[in-house]
Amino acid sequence: MKGITALPRWFMEIKEEAREFYKGAPAPRNKYINLDLIKPEQFSLDAYTPVEDAESRISKENVSGFIVFIDNVMTHFRILDDGISIYDIRDADKNENFRKYFSKAVSPTSDRFTAYHYSVLEEAILIHIAPGARVEKPFHVLYIHSSDKASMHPHIIILADRSSRFTYLEEAFSIDEEHSGFFNPVVEIFALDEARVYFSSIFNMNENVLSYGRKRGVVGRNAYIDINHGWIGGRVNTNHMELLMDAPGAEGEDTQIFFGRDHQTHFLTTRLLHRSGDSRGNVLVRGALKDRAHSIFDGLIRIYHGAQRSNAFLEEHTILLNPGARSDAIPGLEIEANDVRCTHSATVGELEEEKIFYLQSRGVPHDDARKMLVMGFFEFAIEKIPIKEAKERLVNLIEEKWK
């Protein structure tokens, strides 16, 4: 829904800064993956194919509002709860919060592909939850990949004002299994003092889509952000998730699951950043890989100088379902304070034969036993999905991975 109103001058200056950075920045890489294969210019910013019944996945009686993006265009939005306000970038000069928070969590110069996101950005949305508002029903966002070679760059800012409560669910999927595309989102989340944000995401674009996204949550005093991701589709999925504990009493939780098959690659980076003491953070990532799929997990807890009495935990576990699948894990700690509690762990293994044998002894066929164990492995994240129909879709997507 691009209007004719001019984009703000300060926004154009940010775009120009990002454009200059993109020209000289190399693609991110480490010894496990080289992202030079992502060439954003090969995809079209103008690709757009209308979708009939685009809102069909939205259960309007069970949500507080919704937004629908088709390719790179926001086509629908509706607010169904008085505690929520939505602002477009073209309204930015009428709302001081837009300029105050836009690009403040995720910098335009974070890396090459984030710079590209900012340089081509034409649409950004601020979702503001009013002080003290308790938005009990989830807010639902759909990203629909409808055109071949579509380049998609959604930018969402969630501002949960003081003492508010907000639940958010996004789903990304493709209409056609053959269409290629580039999905390049940025999400900035701000939980002000005593606010609580519950954020869930299901990614199931087809296996011809490349994705590179950044999400960052800034957690205020006695506030809480709960992040939950399900990575199912895509060819190469790269996601950077950061939670910044920015004041005493801040608490953040990051849970993620992934399932890879064929030649899929999941490259997940997560950061718990404790800039303030008396804060808590937790990361739990679990994955399953079959065929020649590959995962790279890069996790870090950083305790800043003076952030005493921080408590953080990070763990990642991957199941390899056959020879040929591969998982690399890089957990790490950077601690600059001496009164903290921090632990991390990472494991890669196979399904336990004793558990499979036990289920078989109860009459469960071998393949079904394997599926049951993987579903149980993912249950902690599946249960967090706030909309029943979306939860069922995620379960069905995981089951389809076995075909």
Q: What is the pTM of this model?
A: 0.95
Residues in a beta bridge with 33: 30
Distance of alpha carbon 182 from the chain centroid: 15
Q: CB count, 10 Å around CB of 22? A: 21
Strand partners of residue 228: 200, 255
Q: Which helix (H) or strand (E) holds 243?
A: strand 236-245
Is it the case that residue 5 has pLDDT exceeding 70? Answer: no
For 256-300, what is each residue's pLDDT tens digit?
999 999 999 999 999 999 999 999 999 999 999 999 999 999 999
- How many Å apart are CA 147 and CA 145, to the nearest integer? 6
Distance, in Å, from the CA atom of 211 to the CA atom of 195, rounded to the nearest integer, reads 30
d(CA 132, CA 141): 23
pLDDT at 18: 97
pLDDT in the model for residue 1: 47
Across 143-165, average pLDDT: 98
- C-alpha closest to that of 242 among 275, 193, 210, 264: 275
The C-alpha R_g of the chain, in whole angstroms, comes to 21
- Per-residue pLDDT of 109-119, as tens digits, reads 999 999 999 99
